[in-house]
Every structure is written in C-alpha cells, then in structure tokens.
Chains A and B, each alone.
Chain A
Amino acid sequence: MNGGNLEMKVSLFITCLADVFYSNVGKHTVELLEKLGCVVDFPEQQTCCGQPAFNSGYHKETKEVAKHMIRTFENSDYVVGPSGSCVAMLREYGHLFENEPEWKEKAEKLAKKSFELTQFIVEVLKIENVNASIPACATYHKSCHMTRLLGVKNAPGKLLDNVEGLDVKPLPNSHDCCGFGGTFSVKMVPISEQMVDEKVKHIEETGAEVLIGADCGCLMNIGGRINRKGKPIKVMHIAEVLNSEVK
C-alpha cells in the first residue's frame, strides 16, 4: 500500500481550527500520512496561516504572522495541511512581500513545498487508493479556495472513489460557496445564512447520511447549521474518512 519508496519527511500544518476545534482531524491526518510511508513531524511553533487578517484587509498584521509561519517551516521538506484555504494562504505569502525581496524568496520557497492533504497524497505520493473502508452513503462538498485558489479539483474525488463501501452521491450545485468565507459568516449574517441553507438543502437532496469536506471552516459552517436545524447528517473531514478501516 505504500506508494512511496523514499521516507518522505512531512511537516504537519495543523491549522488553527483543527488544532483547537477538530483535533481528531489532525490525528487522522498524522496516522494516514504515516500509513502511507511518511515521517511526520509537527513544528509546534506554528500558529495560524493569517487568513482572518488577510481577507479582512489587515495586511500589515498578516505580514507579521506570515513571517512567523515562514520561519516555522523553514527547514521542512514538505508542509502538508488538512485545509485547502489555509494552504492557499501559505502560497499567497509571496504577494505580501513584493517590496521585501528576501522575504518574497522565502515565501516562494514555502509555497513550492506546501500542499493540501489530498493534493499531497495524489500529486506527490502518487497514491489514489489508501485502502480505507467505511460503509456509508455520503456526499462531498468541495471547498471554494481549495478548488479555485489552490486548483485541487480531482484529488479528493479520486481518493473517495477508492474507499471501500463508500457511496458518494454527487452534490447538486457543488460549485456554490457554503457561505463561510471566514469573517463573512459573522459580518454578513443574513447573506451567509441564505447561502448555508441552500447548501444544506442540496445536501439533503442527495439523501446522504454523511457530509464529507476537506476544510474545517466549511465543515464548521455547514455542520453548525445542520446541528441547529437538527438534521440527521453526520459531518466528517476527509482525513477521517481516508484513515478509516472496517473494524
């Protein structure tokens, strides 16, 4: 099952949301990467990618955070995180340092070696079957930043297709945003609410009992609405699905 013949040294980029609210996502990510033959370390100085400040227009503040994160991962071979938007943010650092060529270069180095989890497994490890197994009827929400900004369109689908027992129903209007958008979800509540309701409606239309996603922000948003509405849909991060085995 191990597609790699080198011991890939991977630094885990846990993301602040997973660190604090979804620690099981981190656990599954580490276990999965190790199963696939990687040697995983966790630079514990890491904090947050900086999106909350960047997307809100606080770029001076973002630069400080970015510098810290660049330093944190300076010696890593690979940086892998279970979130498309957070990794996309790491890759954005270069643009923050247009006027600081030294930092720009460091930022570009970081960008080259940073990957979202499924992207890493499929494009770097070249593995499409992780021998996972979980019987469930599910649907998959493809996060906007992962798909559009990071360009990861097919990796999750390929991996989920090979999970034994998993029936993934296509999600209607899958290209539509779930309404998270970071601070958008609290600044523009009336609009965010409509968007998440539409997403939940589409999820229900599939008849799935499980919603799978690859971004904790989206899952927090959709999951939070599902819980509030009392819908019988379980929310799982793709790391958990891919790390599952039939007991």
Chain B
Amino acid sequence: MAEGQIHNRDSFLSTVAAKLGRERRTSVAKPQWTTTPQYDVLKDATQDELVEVLKKHCEVIHTQFIETNTKELPQKIREVFKQYEVGSIVTWKDERHKEFGLEEGLLDKLSEEKMDVHIWDPVLKEKNIEAAEKADVGITFSDITLAESGTVVLFSSENKGRSVSLLPKTYIAIVPKSTLVPRMTQATAYINKQVQAGKSISSCIDFITGPSNSADIELNLIVGVHGPIKATYILVEDK
C-alpha cells in the first residue's frame, strides 16, 4: 500500500509542545498504570461460566440466544431463518463453514432449495454489497466473543465484508464456545499484541452488541435503526 501524506505536522506539534512548556518529545515510555481493575472482571471464569454470562446478557441487549452443537447447528440456523422469514442470505467466505459442517450441511442445500445464498467473493466487488443490501439476513462467525457485554468481534478482510453484519435487516452470529473471553480487555490485548508484533490489523474491527438501537426520540428505546433490527447469537460447542 502506498504511504499517505501528512500536512502541517511540524508547526502543529511544535505549538503543542511549546504550550506544554517543553521541546517536542520523540520517545515516551507509557507508565505502568497504578490500577488495572479490568483484569478482575470475570477473572478465572470457566468457558461454561462465560456462556452463562453471555446467555444472561443477551436478554438485556434484545438478542436471541440459542445453544447447540455442531451436529444440530444447520437445523438451528434454519429455524431462525424461518423465524426471520428469510428468503435470501449473505455470508462471508469462511473456512469455518466447512469446519462446522455448514458447507454441505447448509449452504449448498439452501442453494439447491432456491434460497438466494450469496457468499462474499472479492472478485465480485460491488455486487457483494448489492447482495448484502438485498439479503434478509447476514450471517457470520464471531471471531472473538465478549461474555460480559454480549459482544461479537468481527475482523474484516477481503472475504469478510463489513456489510454482511450491517446491511441486512437481521443478523445471526455463530459463536463457537472457544471464542468466548471475559470482556473487551482480552480482545484489545490480542489486537495490541498483533500491532506490537508488526502485523497488519484488519481495516475494520467491529465490536457488535446485539441489534442496532437508538433512544433519540423522547428517550424511548427503539430497537432497529440503521443496522440490523433483529439479532441472534447461536452458541456452538466446539473443540
């Protein structure tokens, strides 16, 4: 990727340093913070306990929570499709589809049943976005799942478009049990490690908690504004 351009930095930052009463700093050691309460949240919780926390919190965030195993997963997904009156779906190109038996077990079958199934394909460029706009449901795996806040963390890529979880009216996250961590702290620690190791992080990392909502009209909570109006998390026992 060609590097971008920076304008006016020196004069701007010189002003900042001058106002702070010193020369510009070229290296700063981040201090050890005197307190780190974030690590105490759900400390030592087992995966099962994290599942319970997630399940309970889904009620608060207007998200349907379903628990299943890999064998029953395709069936459970179909049930949600029925519930959401789904005629067309959009999903990522994801090797986990095969791993969780969703390729032959679901997606291929749905295509045969004449349901509109669009699997994100970078070669198709804008057509992917059009498909996402038309789809009744977007369905993705969760890359990391935050139990405390009921959040699925999605890392974008050429095969994992941002629009899948954003444009359709409904959204399904398949949550492998092994992706559960206590809270945002563990996810940001992971990203921080990637950065420190010089790895390139996704251009979009989405922390998604349930469906979209707003309280802008008379402080009444309206579920479903610009993003999906309904959301379901399907927790799958894996590994």
A–B contact with Cβ pairs below 8 Å: the answer is no
Residues of A within 8 A of B (CB): none
